[in-house]
Structure 1
Amino acid sequence: MEIRVIPGIIAVAIGFLLATLLLVPYIIWSYRRRGEIGLGHAVLGLGVLVYAVALWTYTLLPLPADLDAQWCAKFATTLQLHPLRFVAEAQKYPHDSVAALLRNPEIQGFLFNIALFVPLGMFARHVFHRGVLPTVIIGFLTSLLIECTQLTGNWFLFPCSYRLFDVDDLLSNTLGAVIGVALAPVLHLVPGQRVSAPPDQPRKVTVRRRWLGMALDVAAVSLLGATIVVVVAVLAEGRYNIDQHPLMLALASAWAPAVLLLLVIPLLGDGGTIGQRIVLLRPAGRGGGKPPVWRMLIRFLAGSGGYFGLLGWGLVNEWGELLAAGLLVVSGLAAWFSKGHRGLSGAIAGLRLADARTRVAGDPTGKVSVEERQ
């Protein structure tokens, strides 16, 4: 049982790690491709990541610790090119009942190899919209690639093969892909896959988009701040410890990144912050267009800029972090309950929030104005 469970645990752990690293690129791609995220699409995307890692963990792990010439001479595997040889091998074990057959390691291995490729057929057919024959071919070629990898010792990374090239694996894997094609319609039952409108059509501003945009802003500033601190530490080569200078640490880790990402870039663009631009939102002034600079400055100070300002102050005074946490909670609640989800900073600055795909009245694209939609 352990040999079956551990690779699965490793696959789930690595799959979630990859999903975390790819989350922001996925959000950007999804909004440009579909105009929205769609929870169902995200769940299926996570499933594809975990499954891709599972193919690696189940077919190539564990890697041998020490493969030398002596080991290869004694244990190196060879080709198994006799189709359905597992049937003859299975007869060496008790097979006088269904229970005995299910405990038979040869039968278990064959069934497991089928089950391993069922998700491939389902994902190729449903997620990547491949035809029936191309999906079956993909299943066969993927299995062949794995078997060749095993035969060559992970493409000559090791001096000999430590796993068997088995033609029965090719047959069972391909059969699994065929079954996956038949079961692909089951994935239609995953909720949240229906796209509500064409990608370029404006959507309603929702609290989930607001919160996601706010979270992306916080993540972007935090990441840039951490990068600046690390770069300074590397360049200083021990001559200067920025951690011992609270004001410099606050400037590098919070204030400067916040001003750049949440004020300068919005002023140079359509007014949207990094997070808002990713989720296709933008602030709108009274005429529906880009707000004036003074309103943008007020929005910055009352919102994310104020939060990072207090957070930086928290490196000098313990009240800063407490006030920053309070502002974050209030801003989150205001984004939920305020009119049009414009939030605390939008209310103070007198701004509304609009879908970035809307246009001002009279725009030559012919799209409706912000005022006509709200």
Structure 2
Amino acid sequence: MIDRETPAIIAFLGGGVLALLLAVPYIAWSYRRRGEFGLGHMVLALGCLVYALALWTYTLLPVPDTTPEWCARHATEPQLRPFQFLADIGKEADGARSLLDNSALQQVVLNIALFVPLGMFGRHLFRGKPLVVVAAGFAMSLFIECTQLTGVWGLFGCSYRLFDVDDLLVNTTGAVVGVVMAPILRLVPGQRVRLAPTEPRPVTMRRRLLGSFLDLLFVTLFAGVLMAVRVLVTLIDHPEVHADPDLDWLLGYAIPIATLLLFVPLAGRGATMGQRIVMLAPVGPDGGPPSSWRLLLRFAGGTGGYFTLVMCGWNYAAALLIFASFVLMWRPRDHRGLSGLVSGLRVIDARARRSPADESADAPEEDAPEEDAREGLVRD
């Protein structure tokens, strides 16, 4: 049998893995749907993810070896009598002291507590109406009970968990309690959005660092894919993979960095993939899209310059470049960094960048004075 701590460990570990996989889509969604990235909202979203896995682990685990012999001895029959849990609690009750150790009461309390987060998250995060959230809690409980009754919809030889109609009642009660307690989640800081999602936000150091971290993540993943392909191709022809420093450097550093941090911005409007996710856009001194030679200077003053110094063995100079980039990203109000200072580029919120259509619409028409003059002659 599995203890009560193991499902929690599985839920936290699984939630952490899913959080890493869904981090980039969540950040992109947050900037576009909420307008900004709130740490408190992220914590609640992570908590909702872990809770969803906990709901699965606590209701479906453990999974025994459902052989015909096991099913003949342990298969469960559905419990269809409402409020049977009251009789079960009464049978095990023996004074106030033993009430705390009453397993039937503990089971009821656990089933209520298990659906309280569903009501809280459904009401607060998903903005569901109270009746809709309660109905969702009942539907989820019914789905779980039917899953247990059918042996996970026929995947196992028999029903290894008890279908209990009382679970529907207490789980739904937990969802009701969660709806009532949902306002507590408003106390978590970092959730309030003061501007509309389409309104530009200030460029902060935290936002710049988040974009840089995402770029580093993409470069690392791309390098990992290239190295994995190299190993697979090599294994097809040779049973062993021999080290090739030049090829490893090319696939692990040069190609991913040049592709994602130089060629992708050159092919677009200057923004890297990380900057696009956090809705940052580089602009030139005139406020327009950066020119190609300025993007080359930015690359040379940033990642390209750093790896060039490392290749030449000038590690202290490379460390100094990183330090200067960090300081210049923090201290100036526009947070342009060393690469922005070298290239003359600055970073703005992508929602503040004006399109050519907007600029042409705001430009004065050349024929306007003549039209005004004609109207004046007519009026005279």
State the match for 1:113 in structure 2: 111
The answer to whether the Cα contact below 8 Å between 1:242 and 1:248 also exists between their aligned partners in 2 is: no
Question: What is the letter of the counterpart of residue 14 of structure 1?
Answer: G
Cα deviation, residue 251, structure 1: 1.2
234-243 vs 83-92, which deviates more? 234-243
Q: 1:365 to 1:295 in 2, by over 3 A?
A: closer
SS at match of 1:169: helix
Q: Separation in 2 of the partners of 1:344 and 1:6?
A: 49
2:229 matches 1:235: no
1:1-374 equivalences under 5 Å are 3-64=3-64, 66-97=65-96, 99-237=97-235, 239=237, 244-309=243-308, 313=311, 319=313, 324=318, 326-360=320-354, 364=358
SS at match of 1:290: coil
Q: Deviations over 1:4-34 (max 9, x none)?
A: 2221122111111111111111111111111
- Give the gaps of 5 or more residues in structure 2: 363-380
Q: 1:305 to 1:67 in 2, by over 3 A?
A: same
The answer to whether the Cα contact below 8 Å between 1:10 and 1:57 also exists between their aligned partners in 2 is: yes
Q: 1:359 to 1:133 in 2, by over 3 A?
A: same
SS at match of 1:108: helix
Q: Deviations over 1:95-120 (max 9, x none)?
A: 321x3222100000001100000000
RMSD: 2.2
The answer to whether the Cα contact below 8 Å between 1:150 and 1:162 also exists between their aligned partners in 2 is: yes
Query: How many residue pairs were aligned?
Result: 360
52-61 vs 348-357, which deviates more? 348-357
Cα deviation, residue 192, structure 1: 1.0
TM-score (norm 1): 0.90
SS at match of 1:283: strand
Q: 1:48 to 1:361 in 2, by over 3 A?
A: closer
- Give the gaps of 5 or more residues in structure 1: 369-374
Q: Deviations over 1:181-228 (max 9, x none)?
A: 111111111111111311121111100001001111111111101101
Q: Separation in 2 of the partners of 1:15 and 1:61?
A: 16
332-341 vs 258-267, which deviates more? 332-341
State the match for 1:371 in structure 2: none
Cα deviation, residue 285, structure 1: 0.8
Q: Separation in 2 of the partners of 1:367 and 1:71?
A: 77
Q: Separation in 2 of the partners of 1:220 and 1:348?
A: 24
Q: Which has the larger radius of gyration?
A: 2
TM-score (norm 2): 0.89
Q: Deviations over 1:61-88 (max 9, x none)?
A: 1211x21111101110110001111221
The answer to whether the Cα contact below 8 Å between 1:243 and 1:249 also exists between their aligned partners in 2 is: no
Q: 1:275 to 1:54 in 2, by over 3 A?
A: same
